[in-house]
Structure 1
Amino acid sequence: MAQKSLLQVEGVETYYGNIRALNGVTIDVNEGEIVALIGANGAGKSTLMMTIFGTPRARSGKIIFAGTDITNLPTHEIARLRIAQSPEGRRIFPRMTVLENLQMGASLDKLKYYDEDVEKVFHLFPRLKERISQRGGTLSGGEQQMLSIGRALMARPRLLLLDEPSLGLAPLIVKQIFDAVRELNKSQGLTVFLVEQNAFGALKLANRGYVMVNGNVTMSGTGQQLLADPEVRAAYLEGGRH
């Protein structure tokens, strides 16, 4: 099925001081796809996710979103283009309630669709509705991850960036999170770019995937192709590097 490219990362290099974290990375994400980026801890996956969002900046290369060059745009302007991020470590507001956290996600759209969008989040994650008045910091890890994704969805994104959504969570909760992402993609056509150390879960979920090693994209293919690839299996799926 022919799809229109929504996000293009072209030859991006990112540095922390003098240390090069991304080495000419090129990936693309088509409208309506789930694309996974897998790799060991420290491979540069989260750096790429943050570079797309403008912090840190790409030192060279280009990032194009929906035909607009966003490489040097400030983060708040990137967010206005309807890219939303659920960052690594969740980063919810711990002193705010579940509802207040969701309101923070909706602020870009001046609460225009607020009631409708809150109901959508509660439909996706019924647990959050049960915890509506509870402070974010008192939620379990899984509930905080649901809240982080829910807050991102309140911005009505065209592209959802998910950074390590399964990190530190029990398998049953991971399944709930991945099922919710699949449902969003299927029912709303939401485009998702997913960074994950859980290679098996991510590639099962994804239409396509990329493998990153030491700041380089070393392999790409459909989720099924990568799941079946002997190198990927040895490194990420059979008790090898994680």
Structure 2
Amino acid sequence: MSATAPATPLLAVRGVKTYYGNIIALKGVDVDIHEGEIVTLIGANGAGKSTLMMTICGAPQARDGTVRFAGRDITRLPTHEIMRLRIAQSPEGRRIFPRMSVYENLQMGAALEGGSHFAADLERMFEMFPRLKERIHQRGGTLSGGEQQMLAIARALMSRPRLLLLDEPSLGLAPLVVRQIFDAIRLLNETEGLTVFLVEQNAYHALKLAHRGYVMVNGVITMSGTGADLLARPEVRSAYLDGGH
């Protein structure tokens, strides 16, 4: 990634307000993600992190503000049309197809891309996550938590996204598995230039991985900076790194 970020972000969130009924969850959020970046959003439970991720994907839609992707206003587009623009999401809680095999889950991921690169992409996923190759004919619902997370990410990658949205990929996983998943994200970014927006409660791992980060508190962005800058800030350390929540 070049030192000077391009003028136009790949993803630009401007003044976004999202509601659940009469309750405002996002209170005028601004976020930029440039091509080739890993950007993370950290914050406590209930801060609005997952709501922002879902708002980018159109469910729920922002009531105010705009979401632009590759220069196009996607704020009012339905989710299936947003996905066709080569945005892929690995949602919180994995949400794989539990009755389908690993192979069938990956086929579903490739459906948007058209399947023309299926064999090559399948091999790439198995190189990145060898456990999935061992479990290729096993039902998704019978996999371990770590294997399900690998499958959720691999399924998203099968669509050859321009932007990968990852929501809490480390949640509930053993440290060794977390390291594997974060190493895979770093490798994809370094070797293929994949742009990643990562929502994560594990602030230390997320900020170590990310080029830039944002901190969200109660639906508001309160801080932003490089991953290293945020790691060094006392208020971030006390709230998210030194045993705080």
After TM superposition, is the score higher than 0.5? yes
Gaps of 5+ in 2: none
Structure 1, unpaired ranges of 5+: none
1:110 maps to amino acid:
G
Distance 1:110 1:32 in 2: 24
3-state DSSP class of the match of 1:180?
helix
Letter in 2 for 1:63: V
For the residues of structure 2 that align with 1:159 and 1:96, how far apart are their CA atoms? 25
Question: Which residue matches 2:5?
Answer: 3
Amino acid at match of 2:104: E
Shift of 1:232: 0.1
Q: Could you say what secondary structure the match of 2:111 adopts?
A: helix
Aligned match of 1:13: 17
Query: 53, 56, 60: which one pairs with 1:52?
Result: 56
Q: 1:106 aligns with which of 94, 110, 114?
A: 110
CA–CA distance in structure 2, aligned partners of residues 172 and 18 of structure 1: 42
**SS state of the match for residue 162, structure 1?**
strand
**Residue from 143, 168, 171 that aligns with 2:172:** 168
Kindly indicate whether residue 33 of structure 2 is the aligned counterpart of residue 29 of structure 1.
yes
% identical equivalent positions: 74
Amino acid at match of 1:2: T
Amino acid at match of 2:101: T
One-letter code of the match for 2:45? N
Q: TM-score, normalised by structure 2?
A: 0.98
Among 115, 119, 138, the residue aligned to 1:115: 119
Q: Deviations over 1:186-242 (max 9, x none)?
A: 11000000000000000000000000000000000000000000000000000011x
Query: After the TM superposition, which parts of structure 1 deviate over 6 Å for at least 4 consecutive aligned residues?
Result: none
Q: Does residue 213 of structure 2 align to residue 209 of structure 1?
A: yes
Q: Residue deviations 1:125-173, cap 9 Å, x none?
A: 1110010000000000000000000000000000000000000001110
RMSD: 0.5
> In structure 1, which of residues 118, 121, 127 is the aligned counterpart of residue 131 of structure 2?
127
CA drift of 1:116 comes to: 0.8
Letter aligned with residue 149 of structure 1: I
**Mapped partners of 1:231, 1:110: distance in 2:** 46
Structure 1 residue 3 displacement after superposition = 2.5
TM alignment of 1:122-201, pairs within 5 A: 122-201=126-205
